[in-house]
Structure 1
């Protein structure tokens, strides 16, 4: 990737801290998502498989949330142990989910506009774009730490600094 890696998280914390925040945030949001799925009466639909029964869609979404929890745990363990290969599933999945989130936000907003619900569509697109920007920033923070660990691993044991550095 040709972008310059980030040096800090929010300008004051290390990218390792930002990576841990992303991991714990993913776990918390997934648990909240599972609770919302089973406690509210919202109609869930998929864009591609719109013929599926609503209960099957709930199960699919729950399995996705469980996988997000597992991958976030791998991210946290990988960040603490400085193992890039444990962080890799989150880095790969997160960028795909960012694209999926953007498509979902645009699709839902367009559906609101088609159904002449302009206020709901506008609110959805504003908060949706903000959430996509936050998500991509968290991915950049995690990718920067992942890249730092990856480069350090490639250098070998004798080329590493003997003391921990600020990352």
Structure 2
């Protein structure tokens, strides 16, 4: 967050030539309602990531600025990453990967579920309706993280559900 907006909002607000692909599952997980966001930035989404979601974990408390953490005495490990030696950058990456492989890090992926599951909080028809208001057709990119045992089957099942249920 910077000045109350996400990076994507800053990009779209400050460029007429910036187009995007919205990851609807993670957007919803972060507290953004994808149909409203798509309508707010009509004609700016060339594609969406289709990933089913069952929880909202955000947005939580939003800092007014990216500088708020520094002002509160919390260091931003990426503030001067370009000036860091490669070894220091690798330590940050290793720490991130260790967290993502920890039980707490893996919990963030527990928000996903099969397309159309009863626990889903996504409204794919509303998302399609918002996309249909654009002046061009957006691609739907069916995506799943790599932690599924049957990754290809999961993607095929998701694509089939979309074809059968979204009109």
> Which TM-score bucket, shorter chain as reference?
under 0.3
The alignment's TM-score, normalised by the length of structure 2, stands at: 0.27
- Give the TM-score of the pair, scaled to structure 1: 0.27
**Greater helix share, structure number:** 1
